[in-house]
Amino acid sequence: MLNHETPHRFNELKRVLGITATTLSRRLDALVEHGLVHREVFAEVPARVEYGLTERGETLRPVLESLFCWVDEHMA
């Protein structure tokens, strides 16, 4: 499970979500484009990129938590 309070790196998200790098990259690009996720690139060697929720993305948290609760109750 991910901590939603802190940013996460690409490979961490890929491992936890269990999806391909291509799929994750496309989804993250779309979320960044819609202003739900912030992408921060650090000028380091090797390059480091972190993803975190924007303020707009945070507004979805209650909705998603409700959805997850519903799934837990009805899809067990």
Q: How many structural domains compose the chain?
A: 1
pTM: 0.82
Tens-place pLDDT, residues 20-62: 999 999 999 999 999 999 999 999 998 899 999 999 999 999 9
Using the predicted structure, report yes or no on whether residue 4 has a pLDDT greater than 80. Answer: no
Tens-place pLDDT, residues 60-75: 999 999 998 999 999 9
Please enumerate in sequence order all residues whose Cβ is within 8 A of that of 38, keeping only pairs 6 or more positions apart, or say none. 7, 32, 51, 52, 53, 54, 57
The whole domain housing 54 covers 8-74
50 in a structural domain: yes
1 in a structural domain: no
β-sheet with 37-42: strand ranges across? 8-9, 48-53, 37-42
CATH number of the domain at 12, please. Answer: 1.10.10.10
53 in a structural domain: yes
3 in a structural domain: no
27 in a structural domain: yes
